[in-house]
Each structure stands twice: as C-alpha cells, then as structure tokens.
Structure 1
Amino acid sequence: MKLTKEQLDQFHTEGWLLLPELFTAEEVDLLRREAIAIYEQQRPEVWREKSGAPRTAFAAHKYNEAFRLLGAHPRMIEPVEQVFGEKVYLHQYKINAKSAFTGEVWQWHQDYGTWKRDDGMPEPRAMNISIFLDEVMPINGPLMLVPRSHNAGDLKASHDLETTSYPLWTLDEETVSRLVKEGGIVAPTGKAGSMLMFHGNLVHGSAGNITPYPRKIVYLTLNAVSNYIRKPTRAEFIAHQDFAPIEPVDDDALIRLARAQRQAA
C-alpha cells in the first residue's frame, strides 16, 4: 500500500495523517476480541490504571497470534517505509485502553522525548501507527494532536512518575499553550479499523473517558533500522531490542486467522 502525494504532503506539513477504515470489520472484530482477552490476563506486560482498569498491554505480538500478524501487516508497514525511505523494525507495541467511565488522561507529550531519553534513540525517525479497535468519537477521550508541532523539534520535558500509572516525559502548560496558539488542536475520529499515523515529535495527549463507550487503540512504534536504540533503560517488552527489519505478512493474513478460529469453534 502506497500513500499518495497529497497524503505525504499532509503528513510532512501537519505531522499526522488519518486513513479511515483501513481494516475491515472482520479484521477488527478479531483484534477486539483478542485485546479483551489479553486485558483479562495477569502478566507483567499488562498495566492497569489506579482503579484496576486496564491501561495498556505491551508486546502483544509476542504472545498473541492476531497481534503478531497485525504487527507485520503491509497496510501499516509500507506507508512508513515510504516516509522513511528504508526498512523499519518494531520498537514498541502496545494496546491502549480508555475504559468506559474510568479511562484516565494521557498528559501532553512528544513520543520521541521518551524514546530519546529512556531508550537512546538517535533521531526522530520513528513513527506511531494507531489502529482504532473501537469507534473513536469526540466524546470518548480521542487523541488530541497539535498540528505542525513536530517542527518545534525535541522540546524540554519533565519526567512525570505520579499522575498516572504510566510514566511520561511531559510538557509544561506554557509550551503547550504556545504551540496550540500557532497550530491549534485536532482530535482525529473515525470508525473502528481506521489508522492514524503521526510524527514522533508531534505534541499530543488525551483526556479521560467518562462515557459508556470504551476506546481501545493499538499503537505500534515503527523505527527506521538505521535509527536503532543505543542505550535502552526500559524492559525489553517495552522497548524492543530486536532490530531486524519487519517482513510483511500477506494482506489477508488476519482474515484467514479469523475464519480459521470460527471453523475451530
């Protein structure tokens, strides 16, 4: 799958691009079921809110076949390779939950700030790919982006270890206010199966979810192979240290798995 010139221009100019309903309902149904089953597991890769609700599940590609296939899916891999002009490897894999009524905030931050400070990533030649497993609406805690903020470079940040269960290198209110004044705020929404890609330096965050509508999103961080991390400080299931290029699976791999599961049921 290749991005058009218009799509590439938007990504480079605005720092983000939304591809609506890139994955089919059958593929998403499979992934949603598998995500719910993973959240029920008690394992170190599954982190929870202070309330006990699931917050994120790391490295699902290592213990779940559906998410292994998703992590090597050509509809995700090829656009990122097109942007970077080289092969990519999987730096991080997580399934973020914004649970109904109890989903907590994600503070304003840049992802590259964490990758640089905690993992020793040399340059912001990594990108987040987000796959919506539920419909993302304006009301259920959508990701908020500050367009063009990726042009500000690597911003000064503070290590927040207390606000939520997941530590982040967060930005101060003055910095966020200045960037929002320049670029505004957008909150990409869409049906389940949509894919959002955004630059590693794009400032973003999300509010809590007090609605009855859960919001599960798969985040894959794809890093250019030449940009592999040099000084990892986090657990391997958080910042992977296998720098081999991803070899894409067949485009219908998830469909075949979903149908095989139905036949076996």
Structure 2
Amino acid sequence: MQLSPEQLAQFDKEGYLFFPELFSVEEAAFLKAEAEKIYQLERAEVWREKNGVARTAFAAHTYNEGFKRLGAHPDLIRPVQQLLDGDVYMHQYKVNAKAPFDGSVWQWHQDYGTWHRQDGMPTPRAMNIGVFLDDVTAANGPLIFLPGSHKHGVVNAKYDIETTGYPLWECDRATVAALAKAGGCVAPTGKAGSMIVFSSLLVHASPPNISPLDRTIVYLSLCETSNHITEFNRPEWIAHRDFTAIQPLAKDCLIKLAQSKD
C-alpha cells in the first residue's frame, strides 16, 4: 500500500491516518480467536488487570504464527517505511484487550516519551500501527487522540505506577488540556479489520470499557533501523533487541493462514 500525497499531508498535520475495514472480516475474526488463546496462557508476556483479566500480551509475533504474519504484512510495513523514509524493525508488539465491564484506562501518554526515557531511543523516528480485532465504538473504550500534538515534541509527564497494573509515563493534565484546546480531541471508531497509523509523539489515551462489548486492538511499534534503542532496562519481550529490518510478506499471507485453519 502506497500513501498518497494527500494522506502524507494529513499525517503531517494531524499525526495519524485511519483506514476503515482494511482487513477482511475473516482475517480479523481469525486474529481475534488467536488473541483469546493467547490470553489464556500463563506467560510473563501476558499482563493482567488488577482483577486478573487480560490487559495486554507482549511479543505475540514471537510465539503465534498469525501475529507473526501480521507483523510483516505489507499493508502495515510499507506505509511506515514511507513515512519514516527507511527500513523498520519491530520495537514493540502488543495485543491489547479491554475486557467487557473490566477493561481499564490507558492514561494520557506519548509512546516515544517512554521509549526515549526508558529504552534510549535517540529520536522519534518511530510509528505505531493499530489493527482493530473487534468493532471499536464510542461505548467500549476507543483510542483517543489529540490531533497535532505530535508537533510539540516530548511533553511533560510523570511515571505512574499506581493507576493500573502497567507502569506508564502519564502526561500532566495542564499539558493535555492545552493540546486539546489547540487541536481538538478525536476517537476514531470502526469495524473489526480497520487500521490506524499514528506518530510515536501523538498524545493519546483510552477510557475504561464499562460496556458489555469486547475491544481488542493489536499494536505494532515500528522504528527506523538506524534509530534503534541504546539502553536495555526492560525485558526483551517489551523492548525488542533484534534490529533486523522487517521484510514484508505477500499481501495474502494472513488470509491463507486463516483459511488453512478452517
């Protein structure tokens, strides 16, 4: 997939692009079923909310074939290569759950702020991609963006180890309020199979899921290969240390696997 000049200009202005229903219903359903299997595993990579429900599964591409193929799908890799003007490696891979009634908040944050402070990533030449495995609605804890906030560099944040079971560099309220006043606040929603690409500097959050509806999103964090991390303070399955450039697979790599499992 090649981004158009209009899409590149939109990304530069707002810090994200949204692609409704990029993946088929069959592909999304297959990955959702694989995610449910992973959440049942007792592995260090599977983090849980304080009440025990799954919150996120790190590095799923290293122990699940479906997520491995998604991690090299050309419709994910090519746009980021274009935006970063270079080859990319996988810095982080998460399958984030927001369980019905119990899915917890993700505080306001910038991903690059964490990667710079904790992993020694030199510059924000890194991107996030999210693929919806469930329909994401206004009711089930959608991702919320502050458009244009990526143009403000690394903003003020404090290390929060109390709000949830996952520590996070949380942006302060005054900063979030000022950024929202300047650029607004949006929550892209859509059907399972939709994809979103956003800057590692874009300030974002997601509210708790108090609805009876699942909300699962896969996040790939891709970094330009020469911009790889320089500090190794976190486990390898959180901040990867294989800086090899990802070679995109064929466009049908995922659907073929899904169909072979039928």
TM-score when scaled to structure 1? 0.98
Q: Equivalents in 1 of 2:103, 2:67: separation in Å?
A: 22
Give the residue type in structure 1 aligned to 2:177: S
Aligned to 2:146: 146
- Quote how far apart the aligned CAs of 1:232 are: 2.1
Q: Which amino acid aligns with 2:116?
A: K
Structure 1 residue aligned with 2:31: 31
Q: In structure 2, the residue corresponding to 1:196 is in which secondary structure?
A: strand
Distance, in Å, in 2 between the alignment partners of 1:248 and 1:87 is 10
Rounded to whole Å, the distance in 1 between the matches of 2:28 and 2:222 is 21
d(CA) in 2 for partners of 1:25, 1:6: 27
Offset from partner CA, 1:2-35 (integer Å, 9 cap, x none): 0111111111110011011111111111100000
Aligned to 1:62: 62
- The aligned amino acid for 1:80 is V
CA distance in 1, matches of 2:133, 2:30: 10
Task: Measure, in 2, the Cα distance between the counterparts of 1:255 and 1:233.
Answer: 37
- 1:104 partnered with 2:65: no
Which residue of structure 1 lines up, in the alignment, with residue 5 of structure 2?
5
| Partner Cα distance (2:254, 2:15) in 1 | 29
SS at match of 1:30: helix
Distance between the aligned counterparts of 1:103 and 1:17, measured in 2? 25
Task: Report the counterpart of residue 129 of structure 1 in structure 2.
Answer: 129
Deviation sequence 1:37-80 (CA, Å, 0-9, x none): 00011110000000111000000001000000000000000000
* Alpha-carbon distance in 1 for matches of 2:26, 2:184: 35
Task: Give the deviation of 1:209 after TM superposition.
Answer: 0.6
Deviations 1:140-198 (A, max 9, x none): 11010000011111112110011101111111111111111111100000100000111
CA distance in 2, matches of 1:212, 1:255: 29
Whether 1:73 aligns to 2:57 is no
1:43 corresponds to: 43
When the two chains are superposed, the root-mean-square deviation of aligned CA atoms in Å is 0.6
Q: How far apart are the structure 2 equivalents of 1:249 and 1:235?
A: 27
Alignment TM-score, normalising by the size of structure 2: 0.99
* TM superposition outliers: structure 1 runs of 4+ over 3 Å: none
- 5+ residue gaps, structure 1, are none
SS of corresponding position for 2:255: helix
- Write the distance in 2 (CA, Å) between the matches of 1:146 and 1:8: 18
Q: Deviations over 1:118-146 (max 9, x none)?
A: 11000001011000000010111101000
2:9 alignment partner AA: D
Q: Distance in 2 between matches of 1:26 and 1:252?
A: 12
- SS of the residue 1:135 aligns to: coil
Structure 2's unaligned 5+ residue stretches are none
Correspondences of 1:168-187 after superposition (within 5 Å):
168-187=168-187
CA distance in 2, matches of 1:165, 1:236: 19
Q: Distance in 2 between matches of 1:81 and 1:208?
A: 33
- Aligned residue in 2 for 1:211: 211
After TM superposition, the structure 1 = structure 2 runs for residues 210-229 of structure 1, keeping only pairs within 5 Å, are 210-229=210-229
Name the residue aligned to 1:113. 113
Q: Please name the residue that 1:240 is paired with.
A: 240
Number of matched pairs: 262
> How far has the Cα of 1:221 moved from its partner?
0.1
CA–CA distance in structure 2, aligned partners of residues 173 and 84 of structure 1:
30
Residue 46 of structure 2 aligns with an amino acid whose one-letter code is V
Q: Which one-letter code corresponds to 1:100 in the other structure? A: P
State the one-letter code of the partner of 2:25.
A
Q: Displacement, 1:249?
A: 1.0
Letter in structure 2 aligned against 1:150: H
Q: Secondary structure at the match of 2:18?
A: strand
